[in-house]
Amino acid sequence: MTTTGGHEPVFCTVVPPHVLDRIAQHQDSSLASAARRTLERDAWERTHRRMTTVVGATAAVTRAAVSDQPNRTVYDAEHGTDLPGTKVRGEGDEPGQDATVNRAYAGLGATFELYLKAYERHSIDGEGLPLDATVHYDKDYNNAFWNGEQMVFGDGDGEIFLDFTLPIDVIGHELTHGVTQYTANLTYFGQPGALNESLSDVFGSLIKQYTLGQTATEADWLIGAGLLAPRVTGVALRSMKAPGTAYDDDVLGKDPQPATMDGFVRTGRDNGGVHINSGIPNHAFYLAATALGGNAWERAGQVWYDVLTGGKLKKDASFSDFATLTVAAAKARYRDGAELQAVLKAWEQVGVRTA
């Protein structure tokens, strides 16, 4: 049985259930069946996490000594569902023939490096937690997830989704759910759930930008670029620059993300629309980062990181609560400079009030 030391793990997938629901209803049976199997597998994993987790117990995870080097292990599920699978690459091992394994290994390292170099954080938990990932999970599995302990990647069905290790921001996104789990532990429902998703998008994008050496102006601000198969009319899963424009496809439908509170979606699905309404705080970060210019992980990213890890962000925080804390964090770190003005204006532009 898994114990968590009070940090309740959340089963988080990068492809929202509303997208898979849409594909599952398609008249093409091969597309629909892969989506249905993915939804069924996600439901099983979600229930399994809930049933095998004891919240508040003493952590039983083996801790690595805090180091400036990651401790990565990549496993191969060989298209099965037993986790973690067969070990295929450990820390320091040379790259093998499997490009998926190599991408997963590199993505774990890129995530570790961004958190260490930009924020002096040692791995996901801040204490050198080993980074484990499983690739080739299940058959035609159209998702990637963080299950509270490790990363898991599907290969996609090849028709709608390609290999989930292709976009480095997907890897960073899912691992950031682990950072949130070990810090603010935001409730995965409604506005706090959308903040949880948004923080993963923010730091997933920053990991991509850091790895590519891109400034805020140079970045594409897309989440999951390169994941959609050529037949899909779309560029990514989400756009932080222009929420609601990532795809418009006869199979996937139209990207439903709002950019401002005027478009806030009230729904009971997807844990209260956590993957939809995350577009609002996503856009606020984009606006703040691009207003400041330079490297987004430095000033804007630092403010968001300060709030996530500062101990004042409550588990049930609303958008307004989070926004207010970013204003306080910007003022505390940068006083009344451009950073504070950029943060204030960004939240104003998306219609979120700050106290």
**Burial class for 220, CB neighbours closer than 10 Å (0-12, 13-18, 19+):** middle
Task: Name the catalytic one among 122, 173, 177, 275.
Answer: 275
Neighbouring residues of 270: CB distance < 8 A, sequence distance ≥ 6: 16, 17, 18, 276
Distances (CA, A) of 96 to 75, 85, 89, 171, 194: 13, 17, 8, 19, 38
User: What band does 23 get if pLDDT is binned at 50, 70 and 90?
Assistant: very high
Percent pLDDT > 70 in the chain is 94
User: What band does 8 get if pLDDT is binned at 50, 70 and 90?
Assistant: low
131, pLDDT greater than 60: yes
CA atoms within 13 A on the CB side of 286: 26
Neighbouring residues of 329: CB distance < 8 A, sequence distance ≥ 6: 303, 306, 307, 310
3-state secondary structure of 160: coil
60, pLDDT greater than 70: no
Domains of the chain: 2-182 (3.10.170.10), 198-350 (1.10.390.10)
Neighbouring residues of 43: CB distance < 8 A, sequence distance ≥ 6: none
Task: Name the catalytic one among 149, 174, 197, 339.
Answer: 174
- Span 169-192, mean pLDDT? 96
pTM: 0.94
For the question of residue 177 being annotated catalytic, the response is no
pLDDT tens track for 275-324: 999 999 999 999 999 999 999 999 999 999 999 999 999 999 999 999 99
Sign of CA dihedral 295, 66, 199, 299: negative
For the question of residue 275 being annotated catalytic, the response is yes
3-state secondary structure of 206: helix
- DSSP code string of 268-307: SSHHHHHHHHTHHHHHHHHHHHHHH-S-TTTHHHHHHHHH
- DSSP code string of 68-134: SS--EEEEE-TTS--SS-EEEEETTPPP-S-HHHHHHHHHHHHHHHHHHHHH---STTSS---EEEE
- Span 87-96, mean pLDDT? 98
Query: What average pLDDT is seen over the chain?
Result: 93
